Amino acid sequence: MKRHFFYALIIISFIACNSNENKVEANSDANKTKENKVYLASWAEGARSRIETWVKEVTTAGSAGFIPVADRIAVFDNDGTLWLEQPIYTQFLFAIDNLKAIAPLHPEFQKDPVLKGVIDGDMEVLKKAGVPGLLKVINASHNEQTEEAFNNAVKKWMETAKDKKFGKTYKELIYLPMVELLEYLRANDFKTFIVSGGGADFMRAFAEEVYGVPPYQVIGSYGDAKYEMIEGKPVVTKKSGAPFVDDKAGKPVGIHRFIGKVPVFCAGNSDGDQAMLEYTNGSKYKSFCMIVHHTDSVREYQYDSPSPIGHLESALTAAKEKNWMVVDMKNDFKKIFAFQ
Amino acid sequence: MKRHFFYALIIISFIACNSNENKVEANSDANKTKENKVYLASWAEGARSRIETWVKEVTTAGSAGFIPVADRIAVFDNDGTLWLEQPIYTQFLFAIDNLKAIAPLHPEFQKDPVLKGVIDGDMEVLKKAGVPGLLKVINASHNEQTEEAFNNAVKKWMETAKDKKFGKTYKELIYLPMVELLEYLRANDFKTFIVSGGGADFMRAFAEEVYGVPPYQVIGSYGDAKYEMIEGKPVVTKKSGAPFVDDKAGKPVGIHRFIGKVPVFCAGNSDGDQAMLEYTNGSKYKSFCMIVHHTDSVREYQYDSPSPIGHLESALTAAKEKNWMVVDMKNDFKKIFAFQ
């Protein structure tokens, strides 16, 4: 699988980055005046106007582009579209931390040199093990746990783990203008969904709190699950089999499977989102497609085609051909994070 | 698979029933006074009171049983719980009719003796072919179609096909008190989901119109799907592979996969619903479990344990042990269908 090599690149770049712990001082001036009921306040004028013009057209009864409420389906990628994805997907960091956290309950982990290495903090072992080692870590840290135990583990981790560059929890590393956009669309009777390559169970543990998106509107990658009664208690346990990868052509399939309607709004940031952008573009209604372009090396990261994470190349070409909105984060976002 | 033998029983009983075309005159007095804003109007007093008491308790802020709005998840089985399932699941009737409808576009069907037999109206061929023949009909009538084409086919069929006993379209054969219950729960800020062994794509084509349940709140059985660009148009095509059967232990797995929260309300009518009833019963909140018991041979059908369709035996025993509400359709429903 090509995907495996892609992950190999990621994990290797992550291990390389891990030594550069260039911590940035946290700016904790998040408690400034709230712009209540003013939507899209962190968007620069031109970008804001483009979004508002479309929303007004499709929500105004009698207008040529009117979309009935029942069909106002908006889908958002997560990593790099709603929150930080550099220098490595947040879920991988959770995988490593959670492996360590549950290790005392799993003496069998000690028998595996890769898992033991990660637990002991020896990342060289993981680096040498390549993709099979990485998948082993993800599997051991995510599966054979009840949905409740896994959900609690993610919630707890999200309260405490901090990003090295910003010194902030990952809940704080969500893009303020995009959260405003979610709220603005919901205020106009859109249903907002997350459609991401990330794990569904991982995202569902925080999406309701940080994005206002309930678990049943979070679509992601997932594996098998098993229902059984254990000591008189009904439990669902996460299993590693039958993986569904909600990325690339998997995204429209996930939308078909979970939503059952073609979206009319779609936001992504990488080539992995191109299929769902095209799918949205093919709606019978006048749809809106958006690409979040990471152009701000100072306030966040600057990357597109050379990056293995958030690789953006063919979707950017498609955006130009099809007049999709390309958000220039440096100029179109007055703020990127709420704390800035 | 045991399931196959179960289907064999169903199809054989269906073919047997098919000769008894005891058509009943349609009662078309559906336009009586509307009981606006009075919920549960078709429920008898005792049953209605039991539901209302629970809803009031769990939705009253400060009460011991209070359930926050975000966790008010209600799940309903479809066949036999929200609409008619006798003498055979409605979806099987659609499968046969749709096979005939699409046959002109599929000359390859003529090469298969079973498909040709069904297209020509020779049900004996299907009877002899048993389960493999039945699965062939379902596959040929449901798959290798775009989601749009399939959705339109179901919608069209639902407008025209009529049940032999009642002389009504299947949209009219939904249980009025259960639709009132869906509305009552939604009015109390519950999210209502369908969790059924029926095909997700089949149910989604009508659930929004007849139950007020949008496609993304309809969970059912499903197969694979493929996304591709065909002549510049993005399409999702239904495929037969990787089936997920949303029945029995599959129901809690489906709830985990699609909803990501343990329900607090569950209604079913057969042993196939027992696992999701148990799962709901295990909620951390004070949950409500309901079994719709088919006790009315005059206004609908009377059946439970002897019937292969809607087989109800162990779930009824569990209901007694766990004090789940067992709805006696004959006495608890003032009306079963709106037209009665």
Say yes or no to pLDDT of A19 above 80. no
Token readout for B78 is 């479809």
Say yes or no to pLDDT of A264 above 50. yes
Tens of pLDDT, residue by residue over B228-239, are: 999 999 999 999
Beta bridge partners of B76: B194, B267
Q: Which CATH number fits domain B31-87+165-340: 2.50.20.10, 3.30.450.80, 2.60.40.1180, 3.40.50.1000?
A: 3.40.50.1000
Mutate to test the interface with B, among A256, A259, A281, A287 (most CBs of B within 10 A): A256
Do residues B16 and B126 touch, judged by C-beta distance below 8 A? no
- Every domain range in chain B assigned CATH 3.40.50.1000: 31-87+165-340
Sign, CA torsion A14/A17/A22/A27 = negative
Tens of pLDDT, residue by residue over B97-155, are: 999 999 999 999 999 999 999 999 998 998 899 888 888 999 999 999 999 999 999 99
pLDDT band at B335 (very low <50, low <70, confident <90, very high): very high
How high is the pLDDT of residue A135?
A: 87
Say yes or no to pLDDT of B12 above 90. no
Distance from CA of B239 to the nearest CA of A (A): 11
Distance (Å, rounded) from C-alpha B200 to C-alpha B181?
Answer: 22
By a Cβ cutoff of 8 Å, what residues of chain A touch chain B? 70, 73, 147, 191, 193, 200-201, 204, 208, 214-218, 222, 225-229, 233-236, 242, 249-253, 256-261, 275, 278-279, 281-282
pLDDT band at A134 (very low <50, low <70, confident <90, very high): confident
Do residues B293 and B271 touch, judged by C-beta distance below 8 A? no
Do residues B260 and B276 touch, judged by C-beta distance below 8 A? no
Closest partner residue to B259 (CB to CB) among A216, A222, A225 is A216
**What is the percentage of chain A residues whose pLDDT exceeds 70?**
89
Residues of chain A by 3-state class (helix, strand, coil), percent to 5: 45, 15, 35
Using alpha carbons, list the distances in angstroms from residue A170 to A86, A203, B99, B287.
12, 12, 52, 34
pTM to 2 decimal places: 0.91
| CA A86 to chain centroid | 11
Across the range A263-281, mean pLDDT stands at 98
pLDDT band at B36 (very low <50, low <70, confident <90, very high): low
Distance from CA of B33 to the nearest CA of A (A): 28
How high is the pLDDT of residue A36?
A: 52
Q: Give exposure, A20-39, as e/b (b: 16+ Cβ within 10 Å).
A: eeeeeeeeeeeeeeeeeeeb
Q: Do A227 and B218 lie within an 8 Å CB cutoff?
A: no
Q: Do A200 and B257 lie within an 8 Å CB cutoff?
A: yes
Say yes or no to pLDDT of A251 above 70. yes
ipTM confidence score: 0.90
Say yes or no to pLDDT of A230 above 50. yes
- Lowest-pLDDT choice from A125-129, A162-166, A295-299, B285-289: A125-129
Q: B161 in helix, strand or coil?
A: coil
Q: Which residues contact A80 (CB under 8 A, 6 or more apart)?
A: A86, A269, A270, A292, A294, A309, A310
Q: Which residues contact B107 (CB under 8 A, 6 or more apart)?
A: none
- Mean pLDDT, all residues of chain A: 91
- Mean pLDDT, all residues of chain B: 91
Token readout for B151 is 């959705």
Residue A288 half-sphere exposure toward CB, CA atoms < 13 A: 26
Tens of pLDDT, residue by residue over B52-73, are: 999 999 999 999 999 999 999 9
Do residues A114 and A126 touch, judged by C-beta distance below 8 A? yes
- Every domain range in chain A assigned CATH 3.40.50.1000: 35-87+166-340
Say yes or no to pLDDT of A5 above 50. no
Mutate to test the interface with B, among A204, A213, A227, A235 (most CBs of B within 10 A): A227
Tens of pLDDT, residue by residue over A216-226, are: 999 999 999 99
Domain A35-87+166-340 coded CATH 3.90.25.10: no
Distance (Å, rounded) from C-alpha B35 to C-alpha A183?
Answer: 36
Q: Do B227 and A249 lie within an 8 Å CB cutoff?
A: yes
Q: How many CB pairs under 8 A join A and B?
A: 103
Across the range A314-322, mean pLDDT stands at 98
Tens of pLDDT, residue by residue over B184-217, are: 999 999 999 999 999 999 999 999 999 999 999 9
Q: Do A222 and B257 lie within an 8 Å CB cutoff?
A: yes
How high is the pLDDT of residue B33?
A: 35
Say yes or no to pLDDT of A21 above 60. no
Say yes or no to pLDDT of A48 above 80. yes
| CA B111 to chain centroid | 33
Tens of pLDDT, residue by residue over A97-129, are: 999 999 999 999 999 999 999 999 998 998 899
Count the Cβ atoms, other than its own, within 10 Å of residue B37.
Answer: 8
pLDDT band at A11 (very low <50, low <70, confident <90, very high): very low
Residue of A93 and B35 predicted with greater confidence: A93
Distance from CA of A263 to the nearest CA of B (A): 12
Say yes or no to pLDDT of A131 above 50. yes
Show residues of chain B in contact with A259, CB under 8 Å.
Answer: 215-216
**What is the percentage of chain B residues whose pLDDT exceeds 90?**
85
Gyration radius from chain B CA atoms:
20
Q: B90 in helix, strand or coil?
A: helix
